[in-house]
Structure 1
Amino acid sequence: MLEYPFFFKAPELQRSLHQYVIKDCQQLKKIVSELRIVLPKYNAETKYVNEYALDLQKYPLASKNIMICEEFISDCLQLNWEGWVDHQGTIFTYGFTDEILLDYGIFSDFIMPSILPDAVLSKAANICKEILQDISFKSSFVNIELWIKKTNYDDIRIIEVNPRIASSYQNQYRSSYHGANLYHSIIKLSMGQTDIGVIPNVQTNFTGLYSCQSVIGTRCDGKISQLLDLDKIEQEKKI
């Protein structure tokens, strides 16, 4: 049984909505009662496709509105691996992103290129490729989250596997790598082309610019305005 606080989230196609930091049982009951109303309306199309396309006897939860609980990991680095698999099942690396999550993930920074050693990135990529081979994944981009033990870089574990790109990375790739265009590469892969365009590579097409996106999320109770000192921000803007 997980101890409080823990992370509570919808596992599919919610674009990081419906994620919460649960601090006690009362809060959990309140959120669950709200989700019973909200979730069936929010992802009705997803459930319709699942019911039509999947064997529900084999995947009975595919038609259900479910939430998952995750423990907080405090002594690890977080890394994102993005890659693609061609129509023959060959797996390629597209890019790595360092992820810094503070205050239970309320403040998140996504920075590329990764500053981790090449040996660590190579091992992380091999772990991702192994699981994709095990599930016979083909003909798509894929985005995988991993955590790495701060005291032992050999201890690398998968957090989640997303059978899609991280769409918000497009501008970062274009800023940090000459010629990289994630959307163009997706289109070329979908057309069956083997050459999907320029691949991000620190050695060959790095622009010298580290790119970052910062996300502020209301994963705890309260509004986003309560997380920031708006008056101070206005004062700083005038300086």
Structure 2
Amino acid sequence: MSDAAQPTAAEVRAAAEAVKAALDRHLAAVERRSGEDDPAVYEAFNELAGAAEAYDELLYDRYDEVTPFEIPGEETLPPYTGPDEPSALSVLIRRDYAVAEPQRLRAHAQRIEAADDDGSGSEASSTVHGALGLLFGEFEPDEIASRHTEFGLEEGDSTLWVTVSDEPAEPGEWLEAPFEGADPQRVICRFDVSAVFDDDLDDDDDDDLDDALVRTLAGTPDGDEDVEPLDTDR
């Protein structure tokens, strides 16, 4: 952005004051709430989200700085439309990894291959593609997530959605298109982990990484995100 288009310091200050005022209105609405779905709280939340977003943009344009928090906008908060007493649910999960140490990955795959050697002469562990197939064929996804460094993988972003259904799906019904049934308006809760929140942490602060967990409750996911069903056939 050019200097001529930059917001003034006064505009940034005014936006900050607007956030403070919106915080006060939101707290007052929460203190006076008449029930779980009080529209006054919802309105105050949206006003706070809008004020925070405006301040964040002006702060960045003027000073090249950002705020340490993110408030989801109204479009990411679809109302829950699922049953009040669900009888079926799906756990949808996506985890991203980078292959940080291919040699370590192949070494683990070779051990798996040696233990399962049936004399066929196959050497799938000689390639990263084959080694990944062996690894994920041998271990549960949760075990790989907890031991990813040992396997030569680097953990990326992950997301987990708990969604409800009117009734259990028929066996094999969604296997060809596992993501199509992910309705954001039927999400009970969602848990996200992103490296974005770890950027400012020191290398010695590994014990604090759990603080980067973002828990977004009551149906807040963005419907454009891809999700992956938890493998229950293992």
TM-score band, normalised by shorter chain:
under 0.3
Larger gyration radius, structure 1 or structure 2 = 2
Return the TM-score normalized by structure 1: 0.25
Higher helix share: 2
Higher strand share: 1
**Which structure has the higher relative contact order (CA within 8 Å, separation 6+)?**
2
